[in-house]
Amino acid sequence: MAIRIDGKAIAAAVRSDVAAEVAALKTQGIVPGLAVIIVGNDPASRTYVNNKKKACAEAGIYSEEFALPEDTTQEELLALVVSLNGRSDINGILCQLPLPPHIDDKAVIAAISPRKDVDAFHAANTGHIMIGDYTFLPCTPAGVMELLHRSGVKAEGKNCVVIGRSNIVGKPMAMLLLHENGTVTICHSRTKNLKEICAQADILVAAVGKPKFVTADMVKPGAVVIDVGMDRDENGKLCGDVDYAAVEPVAGYITPVPGGVGPMTIAMLLKNTVTAAKLQNALLTDSLGK
């Protein structure tokens, strides 16, 4: 029977650490600030934004929401980003994805100052992640690493398999495991012998976006199984990319959905915002430039 990795408890510990850091910064006259931009009325995006604002308030971080109508032009959105880049009271800028189809998300991400890019999606930050000289990490992969660290799981010398190659999760996840001396395989829709490759993994990260995709016969006995998925099953019930009921008796460690990776994403966003505040107030040095 697998040990259940409690993402809620670990996220609460991270948020407590962040709140303590924020309190310490405030004694120096520094109030970390986060700007959250949402375009349109996507219900899931609205829920995410509300959760982020609530988490900021609990940690003592100043947050400011910019809710823009669906028909906002790309030029208007870029102008807002440029104005936020210039505000000293805003340390982090987050533009909630997805954006409406008429807006180029790559252009918006590129417009955000790398020093305020708390999602770590800007090309400058992704490049630094590649070479292992980073200031910010994407929130979900960073959250996965925090779960592993606080559960006493080491990647060094382990076979690590990541299912999924997105720029937001799969690719940076693979790099972080590699930086900690894991031997990493990235699998995707064109991978042959997927089941056999996954069954050799000591650490298996599922980020494919397909409900209950990872079955028991894909998991090595005793493996660490991290489920990044947030899906709905045939009954509309929230589930992950891993068939939890089937895999849990086989795995050594496993994250549930909900209550696993999900809570970590917002916790790491708060951590990135504090890092940005320190960076912009010369309490940290980095290689990002202006």
Here the CATH number for the domain that contains residue 159 is 3.40.50.720
CA distance 78 to 35: 14
Note whether 256 and 172 are same-domain residues.
yes
In tens, the pLDDT along 49-67 reads 999 999 999 999 999 999 9
For Cα atoms 57, 47, 53, give the angle at the middle one, nearest 5 degrees.
Answer: 15
pLDDT greater than 80 at residue 289? no
Q: Which residues contact 170 (CB under 8 A, 6 or more apart)?
A: 162, 163, 164, 186, 188, 207
The strand pairing partners of 238, in sequence order, are: 232
CA distance 29 to 17: 19
pLDDT value for 68: 98
Percentage with pLDDT > 90 across the chain: 96
Number of structural domains, the chain? 2
pLDDT greater than 70 at residue 8? yes
pLDDT value for 1: 86
Strand residues in the chain grouped as ranges (E) = 3-4, 33-39, 62-68, 92-95, 159-163, 183-187, 203-206, 224-227, 231-232, 238-239, 253-254
Write down the residue that tokens 């994403």 correspond to: 265
Q: Which residue has the higher pLDDT, 234 or 163?
A: 163
Write down the residue that tokens 């252009």 correspond to: 107
In tens, the pLDDT along 173-200 reads 999 999 999 999 999 999 999 999 999 9
pLDDT, average across residues 211-235:
96
Note whether 151 and 255 are same-domain residues.
yes
**How many CB atoms sit inside 10 A of residue 217's CB?**
11
Instruction: Classify residue 109: in a domain, yes or no.
Output: yes
pLDDT value for 286: 73
Note whether 45 and 144 are same-domain residues.
no
Percentage with pLDDT > 70 across the chain: 99
pLDDT greater than 70 at residue 48? yes
- Residue 42: alpha-carbon gap to chain centroid: 20
Q: With H, G, I as helix, E, B as strand and everything else as coil, classify residue 157.
A: coil
pLDDT value for 284: 85
Q: With H, G, I as helix, E, B as strand and everything else as coil, classify residue 230.
A: coil
Segment 189-198 long-range contacts (CB within 8 Å, at least 24 positions apart): 194/163, 194/218, 197/161, 198/161, 198/163
Note whether 71 and 178 are same-domain residues.
no
pLDDT value for 285: 80
pLDDT greater than 90 at residue 89? yes
pLDDT value for 288: 67
The model's confidence at residue 157, banded by pLDDT at 50, 70 and 90, is: very high
Rg (CA), the chain: 19
Widest Cα–Cα separation across the chain? 56
Mean of pLDDT over the chain: 96
Domain range for 100 is 27-113
Query: Positive or negative, the Cα torsion across 75, 77, 78, 79?
Result: positive
Last residue of a domain, one of 73, 98, 113: 113
Strand residues in 47-118 grouped as ranges (E) = 62-68, 92-95
pLDDT, average across residues 45-50:
94
pLDDT value for 139: 97
End-to-end Cα distance, the chain: 50
Report whether 109 contacts 155 (CB < 8 A).
Answer: no
Instruction: Classify residue 124: in a domain, yes or no.
Output: no
pLDDT value for 164: 97
In tens, the pLDDT along 91-143 reads 999 999 999 999 999 999 999 999 999 999 999 999 999 999 999 999 999 99
pLDDT value for 205: 98
Note whether 108 and 162 are same-domain residues.
no
The model's confidence at residue 287, banded by pLDDT at 50, 70 and 90, is: low
pLDDT value for 53: 95
Note whether 177 and 223 are same-domain residues.
yes
List, by residue number, the catalytic residues: 52, 96, 119
pLDDT value for 113: 98
The model's confidence at residue 42, banded by pLDDT at 50, 70 and 90, is: very high
Note whether 99 and 190 are same-domain residues.
no
Instruction: Classify residue 270: in a domain, yes or no.
Output: no
